[in-house]
Amino acid sequence: MDQVREFLGILQHAFRNLLPIIIVVAVFQFGVMQQVPDNLWGMVFGLLIVVLGVALFLQGLELGVFPIGKNLSNQFARRGSLPLLMLFGFCLGFSAVIAEPALIAVAEQAEIISEGRIDALTLRLLVAFSVGAVVALGVLRALLGHGLTWYVIGGYLMVVVVTFFAPEEIVGLAYDSGGVTTNIVTVPLIAALGIGLAASLRNRNPLMHGFGLVALAVMVPMISVQLYGIVVYNFGEAGDVGNGLAMEAGAEAPVEPTGGSLLLGMVTDLLEMVRDVLPIIAVILFFQFVVLRKPLAHPHRVAVGFVLVIVGLYAFVVGLKLGLFPIGESMAEQLINLDGFLFLYLFAFSIGFATTMAEPALIAIGQQAEEAARGRLKGNVIRILVAVGVAIGITIGVHRIITGDSIHLYIMCGYALVILLTFLAPKHIVALAFDLGGVTTSEVTVPLVTALGIGLATNLDDRNVLIDGFGLIAFASIFPIVTVMLYAIAVERFGGRTRSSP
């Protein structure tokens, strides 16, 4: 009975989280466009499915993913084997990314854009190895007690330098490939690994040393993919890769019939979700039973948790396709046709804020940060700061598409600002701020932002869809880091004045 009451509370919470999206869509559709959207009730039904999916997913995280991640970290830390811990980190990072559907789509798109110079499978392996290596590095950082500051400053200086030399055709996709590595499943699992490791070690602060793995998992693929792009554009040759876009966001039906059967199509899609999560489960079970040789604590609870995660994720994706993608694409096209771009900027800001507030991964990481900070931070404050940052970033990214400016200058200036703020921000907030930049690019934000960018580049004159249509995800990742750090700087200085006043 208590679990039912807890789930109903999570369900109510999930509905409140989606309210900003509903309000934004309603205001622009009925207030600005003054039109009733086609298939209104289908979209309403889709939103209800999204609410149910988010609730099931969060319940599954609490039952299965978080406990097993922290438990494994604690057991490895007690054994004190650095190579074993780093191997576990590498395998976890690699397995979480290699079967990621969004990465598969981005890799296929990269092959098309590069006219065959970039191989989709090679790109996926490169990104997966990058994430695996960076999680292993993050484990080493936590064990050595190093702060994140110099890791991210050195890394993002390299990002800026590589971006300067990278071909224009690959920059946007490189940043997108970094963003899609942090999804609704991998973010909580990687965060649980870092926090569990920091909590189990002496003289380690979970807030300072537990966070940062997600940030590194976003950063390194940006570097490796651009380096790969530089090599293939200088030495590779174009080939025949077919025609058309591989990643038209929201173009596919919510459920594709298999063999003429819609039910069979749903089962097939659900099995694909299982396939995406299976590498992670396999790594966890291997290290638990083969390496540690210990049984799982509460195996039935963990199994139910993973089932809820898979079913919740499936319902979540289907609900998005039914409820938000169609109206998002049509509204973007309609807003471009209005006089001036004011409403387009307002829509970009509003939808960036609303989608981020509904991100399940952000909700989960916000709760973990609140627990790690022991009352110094509030999960809802974190979510609002991140949502404002994403809204600002997407608005600036939309402005870049409208003006036709090069993405290079915007990206380099953005990360230069991030590096400056890293020196000024309180040390305890740096790792969390960079992690929050990665959390924003998950299952809600990426498809809607991608659809917006492609829609703008398609409907504006003299814009190349393959170059200008991608890269908005980079802006959605940069500016949450800025807003969180600025807030922490302001609180530290304001708090100091308050304590010193009579």
Of the pLDDT bands very low, low, confident and very high (cuts 50, 70, 90), residue 206 is low
**Segment 124-139 mean pLDDT:** 85
> How confident is the model at residue 5, as a pLDDT?
77
Residues sharing a CB contact under 8 Å with residue 264, sequence separation 6 or more, in sequence order: 257, 258
Q: Looking at per-residue confidence, does 463 or 165 come out higher?
A: 165
Q: Which residues of 19-51 are buried (b: 16+ CB within 10 A; e: fewer)?
A: ebbbebbeebbeeebeeebeeeeebeebbebbb
The CA dihedral of 96, 101, 107, 110, to the nearest 10 degrees, is -140
DSSP secondary structure letters along 219-285: HHHHHHHHHHHHHHHHH-------SS-S--TT-S-SS--BTTBHHHHHHHHHHHHHHHHHHHHHHHH
pLDDT at 443 over 80: no
Nearest to 33 by CA among 22, 41, 25: 25
pLDDT at 442 over 70: no
**Spatial distance between the Cα atoms of 165 and 227, rounded to a whole number of angstroms:** 9
**Spatial distance between the Cα atoms of 59 and 68, rounded to a whole number of angstroms:** 14
Of the pLDDT bands very low, low, confident and very high (cuts 50, 70, 90), residue 302 is confident
Residues 332-349 have pLDDT tens digits of 677 777 777 888 899 889
Residues 383-415 have pLDDT tens digits of 889 999 999 999 998 898 888 888 778 877 888
* Predicted TM-score (pTM) of this structure: 0.71
Q: Looking at per-residue confidence, does 236 or 291 come out higher?
A: 291
pLDDT at 213 over 80: no
Cβ atoms 170, 233 nearer than 8 A: yes
Residues 282-300 have pLDDT tens digits of 887 888 888 878 787 778 8
